[in-house]
Structure 1
Amino acid sequence: MRHDVFAVMLFAAGFGTRMGALTADKPKPLVQVAGRPLIDHALAVAAGAKRIVANVHYKPDALAAHLKAQGVTVNHEDPILETGGGLRAALPLLGQGPVMTLNTDAVWTGANPLDQLAALWDDTRMDGLLLLLPDAAVGKPTGDFVMDEKGHLTRAKGARGTVYLGAQILRTEGLLAISETVFSLNLLWDRMIESGRLFGAVHRGGWCDVGHPAGITEAEALLARA
């Protein structure tokens, strides 16, 4: 299975505060990385999806115009809703069935991350499938999740483990049971962990967070090596 059977949600509404002066006059997805806007690296990963939807909030006009010119449906959030609230608000645009989500503040090398997820997705066993790397591989002292030999995820709680890279497949029905309007997808993940239906997969390639200025240099070096 390839990712073209899924709708993809791009998270692009954040304030980009860690970028400092670089986001004083533009949203983070329009910051240049390796000669093109950061959002275009995410769009290259998502290309071919059944439908692509992006949320916008901070300095949205130029970003919305950039996305619409590439056939992306834009959902303007006001107020900003975080990842869980933003995904739920976009469900009427995404359509029925499991959806993919992709953070827009990273670059990737190696196999397409969304195709990797699509190839491993099992609708009978999974409510969520997250793409991960070992914490040591991304220079972090602890992980977000611990993954067992069958791929089940539990919270790392300060232990060594794996780091979530910002790409996933989710069944979205559980979003409707959450009472908050503004909330993180962590709430949904915890419910999936309780039911034993949150799984992980290890990315076959490189990844770099571009949430801060130093990440731009690191990302360009990663892409140059690919």
Structure 2
Amino acid sequence: MRIESVMLFAAGFGTRMGALTRERPKPLIEVGGRALIDHALDLVRAAGVGRIVVNAHYRAGQIIDHFRDSDVTVTVEAPDILDTGGGLRAALPLTGAGPLFTMNTDAVWDGPNPLDLLARAWRPGEMGALLLCAPPARAIGHDGAGDFRVDDAGRATRGAGLVYTGVQILETGLLAEVEEEAFSLNQVWDRMIARGALHALPYPGRWCDVGHPGGIALAEDMLAGRDV
């Protein structure tokens, strides 16, 4: 199934980056000479996604300037940041109702296009969301035992196993069930888990978490084909 829209999350404060985000938002930190968000955008364009929406809050003016004179739509969350769920729900007039991709902008990839993999595996009517997850051995720069367990049918539940990479296809209908204005997509996933509608797909390549300063060098080494 062809997915026509993507929401790129770029509103966060990037506190794990410390001094690197004192004067600029995390998505504009460079890896290999290019902004993190441009690495994500390369994958979006290669997958042929036509409607691209970016949310912004912290240092929003820099995000707006970065995409000036482009086909990317920037939506600013103000006065308060809305978290992933609230931010996506507020952007639905721009993205359309879905299903759509959502993508974090603090990672780089070495392997097949993650959006293509998700689109090929998506089963509308059966899945409420399809998360792309990495086995811990392929999750560079990420500590921990994982976020989700996956059964033989691909259904996901909470627990050690696979690491969520920040990319998914999501049906947006359950966003309306959450009463809070600002909320995490974790609330939507929990509702899907209760209904057996949350699914996950393992990523066969390598994924590098660049949400912390040490991830920059690891990502650059990975992209250059060096051992990490």
Letter in 1 for 2:153: K
Aligned residue number for residue 40 of structure 2: 42
Counterpart amino acid of residue 150 in structure 1? A
Deviation of 1:140 after TM superposition, in Å, equals 3.3
Deviation at 1:180, TM superposition (A): 0.6
Corresponding letter in the other structure for 1:24: R
Classify the secondary structure of the residue corresponding to 2:75.
Answer: strand
| CA drift at 1:59 | 0.7
- State the shift of 1:24 in Å: 1.1
1:173 aligns with 2:176: no
1:6 positional shift? 2.2
The match for 1:140 is: 143
Aligned to 1:26: 24
Tell me the TM-score normalized by structure 1.
Answer: 0.94
For this pair of structures, how many residues does the alignment match? Answer: 221
Deviation at 1:69, TM superposition (A): 3.1
Paired with 1:35 and 1:171, the residues of 2 have a C-alpha distance of 35
Q: Distance in 1 between matches of 2:135 and 2:191?
A: 23
Residue 19 of structure 1 contacts residue 211 of structure 1 at CA under 8 Å; is this kept in 2? yes
1:151 aligns with 2:149: no
Equivalent residue, structure 2, for 1:102: 103
Please tell me whether the aligned partners of residues 138 and 206 of structure 2 are also in contact (alpha carbons under 8 angstroms): no
Letter in 2 for 1:144: D
Partner of 1:212: 212
Counterpart CA distance in 1 for 2:174 and 2:28 is 32
Q: CA deviation at 1:111?
A: 0.5
Q: Distance in 2 between matches of 1:145 and 1:17?
A: 25
Q: Deviations over 1:57-107 (max 9, x none)?
A: 011112112123331101100110000000100000001320100000000
Structure 1 match to 2:128: 127
Deviations 1:133-161 (A, max 9, x none): 123432534221100111000110xxx31
CA contact (8 A) 1:68 1:74 kept: no
Structure 2: give runs of 5+ residues left out of the alignment.
none
Match of 2:193 in 1: 193
Partner of 1:111: 112
| Structure 1 portions without partners, runs of 5+ | none
Residues in 2 aligned to 1:126 and 1:141: alpha-carbon distance in whole angstroms: 27
2:17 and 2:212 in contact (8 A); partners too: yes
For 2:51 and 2:96, locate their aligned partners in 1 and report how far apart those are by CA, in whole Å: 9
Cα distance between partner residues in 1 of 2:220 and 2:137:
20
Measured on the aligned residues, the alpha-carbon RMSD in Å equals 1.3
Q: For the Cα contact (< 8 Å) 2:100–2:170, is it kept in 1?
A: yes
Letter in 1 for 2:129: G
Structure-2 separation of matches of 1:54 and 1:108: 19
Comparing 25-34 and 136-145, the one that deviates more: 136-145
> 1:84 maps to what in 2?
85
Q: Secondary structure in 1 aligned to 2:67?
A: helix
4+ long deviations beyond 4 Å: none
